Amino acid sequence: MGLTDEEYARILELLGREPNETELGMFAVMWSEHCGYKNSRPLLKLFPTQGPRVLQGPGENAGVVDIGDGQAVVFKMESHNHPSAIEPYQGAATGVGGIVRDIFAMGARPIACLDSLRFGDLKERRTVYLFSGVVAGIAGYGNAIGVPTVGGEAFFSPSYQGNPLVNVMCVGLLEGAPAKGAAAGVGNPVLLVGAKTGRDGIHGATFASEELGEASEERRPAVQVGDPFREKLLIEACLEALKTGYVVGIQDLGAAGITSSAVEMAGRAGTGMEIDISRVPRREPGMSPYEVMLSESQERMLLVVEKGREEEVKRIFSRWGLDATTIGRVTQDGVMRVWDGKTLAAEVPVRYLTEEVPTYVREGRVPEYLAAAQAFDWHTLPEPADYNEALLKLLASPNIASHEWIWRQYDHMVQTNTVILPGSDAAVLRVKGTSKGLALTCDGNGRYTYLDPYTGGMIAVAEAARNLAACGAEPLGLTDCLNFGNPEKPEVYWQLKQAIEGMAEACRSLGIPVVSGNVSLYNETEGRPIFPTPVVGMVGLLPNIERRAQQGFRGPGDVIVLLGSTEDELGGSEYLYALHGLELGRPPRLDLKKEARVQEACRTAIREGLLSSAHDLSDGGLVVALAESCLTGPNGPQGARVEIARAGLRRDSAYFSETQSRILISLPEENLPRLAAIAGRLGVPYSVLGRTGGERLEVDDAISLPVNELQRVWKEGLACYL
C-alpha cells in the first residue's frame, strides 16, 4: 500500500485502534505522494501564487485568472506517467479525461488541451510502441470529446527509456464566478454522477507513488479505462447543472476515486460526510467496500446539492443518459463514515486524512555525476567538417524535426477558435465575441535540469514566457508538472528543491504567479531516475488578437533581426546530442532582467504592428531557428540569406549555441527605425542578419541548402521512425 512502518504506527496512534481494510486503503491513497504531496508540499510553498488577476490559486481543482469582461481562464496540468508506461493508449487517454474534468469542475467550458511528452530512444521498438500508443490515446480521447489539442512538445532521450512522461494541460473559459469543490451545507445530499463504478484503477494513486520495475506489468489493472463519449455527456450535464445554482460543491473523481473526492470536499469545508456505498451504481458484481471506495473508474463526479433540489439536478443527468444517485449527505462532526447498507465499513475523522498527512523535509545531496558532467569542455570537440551536413543532422533529430506526425492526429480546429495552429511557439485561440486572444504553450528541458537543476527550473519558466512573447501575449499565470525520481534519495531531493527554487525565482522576477500544478515523483526504472523534468504550462493574453505574430517568415524582402546576443554556450545543447551523442556541459546561463527586456521589446513591436514573424530561440540555436522560420511560414517555405557576426566565437557555437533571451524576428525594412527605438529604450541588443527571399537558406559561406531539401529532412526526421 505504499505506507512505511512509521506511517502505519502513526495511523494506529491517531485511531487508537487497528484500521480495517477499507480504512487502511483510504489512508494509503490519501497519504500517498500523488494525493498528499508529502515530500513536495513544503517545497511548493516557495512558489508565488498571488497576482492582480488571480481569482483562484492552488488548492482547488484548477487555477483561475481574470481576463476582463466578466470572463476568466481556467487551467491546470497533470501527469499520467506510470499508467502510460504499462498501457500507453489508456494511460494517455484517461490522463486527458482527468484533466478535462478538473476544468469543468470549476464551471468552465474546456476549450483546449496541450501535451508535453518524453520518451526514450526511438531506435528501440518499445519506445515506438509507447510513443505511438500515447499519441493515439491523446487523439482518441481528445477528438471524441470535442476539445482541440492545439499545442505541446515532445522530447526524446535515453533517460526516459523505461519511464515515459505524459503531461497533459487543459484550458477552459469561465463566465462568472468559479465553482467550488467543497462539501458545504450540513444535511445537503451528496450525488455520484456519470459512469458506473468498476474495478479499474484501484490503487492507481499508490501505483503512481512508487518506482517502476519488472513487476510493473502486473499493475495493469491499476490503469483506468476511459469512455470519451460518456465524458462529453458529463461535460454538458455538469455545466448545465451548475447553471441552476443548486450545486454547492463539485469535484471530479480522479486518483483515489470516491475516497479522495469525498475527503477533499469535506476537508475544504470543515465538515464531515456519510456515504452508503451500497447505493453506488456498479458495472461489476461482488465489489467490496474497499474496491468501491478506491476504484478510479473514469467519467464520474461527486456533487453536493442544495437540500430539496436533488431531483431537479438528477433530471438533468437523466436527460443526458447518465447515472445520478444520492449516495450520502454532509455532516457537521468532521468524520468520514462509509456504510455498506447497515454495516459500518469505515469511520475516520477527515482531518486525519487531510491535515495529518506526514510531510518530509529531507536532506539533499549534490549528485556525484554533476561535477564531471558540468566540467565537460565541448571546445575539445572538432568543428563540423561540413556545416550543411551538420544542419541537416540537427533538423532530422526527433527533438527538432517537425512534430506534424503527432499533431495531425489531433483535431486542433474543433470549436473553431484556433487562430495559430500547432507548430509555432505558442497556439493562439480567439475568445469569441471579443477582440481578445489567448496564447497557450508548455515547455521544459530535462537535460538542462539534469546538468544544473536551478538554472533548468528558471529556463523552463523563462522559455514558456518567451514563447508567449513571440506571439505578442502577456503571461497571465502558469501551471506546472514536476517530474522527478525518488525523493527519498538525497540526490533526487536536491534536484527537486533546486529546480523549484529556480522556478520560483523566475516567476517572481517575471511577475508570473503559479496558480495550479501537479507533482509526479518516483519516476524511476530499476532504480534509475529520469532526467529531472519540470514542465511549465503557461497562458497569456492578447488584448487585440489581430496584433499577433507566428514563427514562420511571411514572404520575401523582409529584414531578419536577432533580438538579444549570442554567447559561447554549447553545454547541454541539442547540437552536442545530435552530432556527438553527448548530454554534458553547463547549460546556458539566464539573466532574468535581460530576459524580461527582450520579451517586452518583442511584445511591444508586435502590438505596434511592426513584425512579420517572431520565433523563440531554443533547441538547436540560431541557425536551426532560421531554418524553422524558413519552413513554417503561412505562405509556404521561404528562403533567406544571412550573415552571422561571430565576435570571437567558434562557428559551431555562433550557429548552434542555445543562449537564452533571444528571439528571431522579421519585418519590413521601413519598420526598422521604430524597432531600433524600442530596443534602445529597453536596452535590448539587436543585430540585422539579412533578408528573406529566394529558394535557399544561405548562411555566410558555410551553409547553402535548397529550402525543399531542408523541408524534406525536417518533415521526415520523426516520421521515419514510425
Q: What is the pLDDT of residues 427-440, one digit of tens each?
A: 999 999 999 999 99
Per-residue pLDDT tens digits for 487-526:
999 999 999 999 999 999 999 999 999 999 999 999 999 8
Spatial separation of the C-alpha atoms in residues 681 and 647, rounded to whole Å = 24
d(CA 463, CA 448) in angstroms, rounded, equals 12
Distance, CA of 473 to CA of 489 (rounded, Å): 40
Contact, 615 vs 468, CB < 8 A? Answer: no
Grade residue 1 by pLDDT with cuts at 50, 70 and 90. Answer: confident
Residue 206 has pLDDT above 70, yes or no: no
pLDDT band at 31 (very low <50, low <70, confident <90, very high): very high
> Smallest Cα–Cα separation from 713: which of 390, 329, 417, 486?
390
Beta bridge partners of 305: 247
pLDDT recorded at residue 254: 84
Q: What is the DSSP letter of 17?
A: S
Biggest alpha carbon–alpha carbon distance for the chain: 85
Region(s) of the chain under CATH 3.30.1330.10: 52-178+437-545
Take residue 486 and report the three cell numbers written for it: 525518488
Question: What CA–CA distances, in Å, run from 579 to 154, 396, 397, 443?
Answer: 19, 11, 9, 23
Judge contact between 608 and 674, C-beta under 8 A. yes
Amino acid sitting at position 436: K
* pLDDT value of position 640: 98
Alpha carbons within 13 A on the beta-carbon side of 42? 12
Summarize the confidence of residues 42-53 as an average pLDDT: 96
Q: What is the dihedral of CA 596, 151, 134, 715, to 10 degrees?
A: -100
What's the pLDDT at 226? 86
How many of the other CB atoms lie within 10 Å of CB of 680?
11
Residue range 1-7: mean pLDDT, rounded: 92
Q: Which CATH number fits domain 52-178+437-545: 3.40.50.300, 3.30.1330.10, 3.40.640.10, 3.20.10.10?
A: 3.30.1330.10
Helix (H, G, I), strand (E, B) or coil at 637: coil
> What are the residues whose beta carbons fall under 8 Å from the beta carbon of 269, sequence distance 6 or more?
182, 183, 184, 249, 330
CB atoms < 10 A from the CB of 683, how many?
Answer: 11
**Rounded to the nearest 10 degrees, what angle do helices 387-396 and 707-719 cross at?**
40
CA distances from 332 to 187, 251, 705 (A): 8, 19, 73
693: left (phi over 0), alpha (psi -120 to 50) or beta: left
**Ramachandran assignment for 71, one of left (phi > 0), alpha (psi -120 to 50 degrees), beta (any other):** beta
Q: Give the whole-angstrom CA distance, residue 307 versus residue 291.
A: 29
Average pLDDT, integer, range 181-199: 95
CATH homologous superfamily for the domain 368-401+549-722? PurM-like C-terminal domain (3.90.650.10)
Q: Which of 34, 82, 403, 412 is catalytic?
A: 34
Q: Which pLDDT band holds residue 612 (cuts at 50, 70, 90)?
A: very high
> Which helix (H) or strand (E) covers residue 305, if one does?
strand 300-305
Asked if 403 is an active-site residue, the reply is: no
Q: What are phi and psi of 312, to 5 degrees?
A: -65, -40
CA 444, CA 596: separation in Å to the nearest integer?
18
If pLDDT is split at 50, 70 and 90, which confidence band does 219 have? very low
* Separation in Å, CA 50 to CA 178, 268, 362, 477, 511: 17, 19, 27, 10, 10
Structure confidence at residue 222 (pLDDT): 56
Q: What is the DSSP letter of 287?
A: -
CA distance 586 to 544: 40
| Whether pLDDT at 403 is above 70 | yes
Q: How high is the mean pLDDT of the chain?
A: 95
Q: How confident is the model at residue 211 (pLDDT cuts 50, 70, 90)?
A: low
Q: What pLDDT was estimated at residue 30?
A: 95
Domain with CATH 3.90.650.10 in the chain: 1-31+182-357, 368-401+549-722
Q: Are 229 and 146 in contact (CB under 8 A)?
A: no
Flag whether pLDDT at 220 surpasses 50. Answer: no
pLDDT score at 651: 97
Tell me the C-alpha distance between 128 and 11, whole Å. 44
CB 220 within 8 A of CB 309: no
Q: Which residue has the higher pLDDT, 287 or 254?
A: 287
pTM: 0.95
Nearest to 688 by CA among 702, 668, 708: 668
d(CA 205, CA 273): 22
Grid cell in block for residue 335: 468524520
Relative to beta strand 272-276, strand 335-340 is: parallel
Give phi and psi for 548, each to the nearest 5. -140, 165
- Residue 135 to residues 185, 399, 518, 537, 579, Cα–Cα distance (Å): 43, 16, 21, 19, 27
Question: Which residue, among 409, 499, 398, 486, has the nearest Cα to 453 in the 3D structure?
Answer: 499
pLDDT higher than threshold 90 for residue 722:
no
The pLDDT tens digits of the residues spanning 542-597 come to 999 999 999 999 999 999 999 999 999 999 999 999 999 999 999 999 999 999 99
What DSSP line would sit under 39-103, residue for residue? TTHHHHTTS----TTEEE-BTBSSEEEEEETTEEEEEEEEE-HHHHHHSHHHHHHHHHHHHHHHH
The three cell numbers of residue 488 are 527519498
Instruction: Clarify whether 412 is annotated catalytic.
Output: no
The span from the first CA to the last CA of the chain, in angstroms, equals 38
The answer to whether residues 639 and 707 touch, using CB atoms and an 8 Å cutoff, is yes
Q: Residues 472-489: pLDDT tens digits?
A: 999 999 999 999 999 999
Look at residue 200 in the predicted model and tell me its pLDDT.
81
Q: Is domain 1-31+182-357 in CATH 3.40.50.300, yes or no?
A: no
Residues with Cβ within 8 Å of residue 566, at least 6 apart in sequence: 621, 622, 647, 649, 653, 654, 657, 659, 662
The confidence score (pLDDT) of residue 221 equals: 54
Is the confidence at residue 464, as pLDDT, over 70? yes
Contact 425, 470 (CB under 8 A): yes
Residue 210: pLDDT above 80? Answer: no
Give the residue among 245, 195, 722, 627 at the shortest CA–CA distance from 400: 627
**130-189: pLDDT as tens digits:** 999 999 999 999 999 999 999 999 999 999 998 999 999 999 999 999 999 999 999 999
670-721 pLDDT, tens digit per residue, is 999 999 999 999 999 999 999 999 999 999 999 999 999 999 999 999 999 9
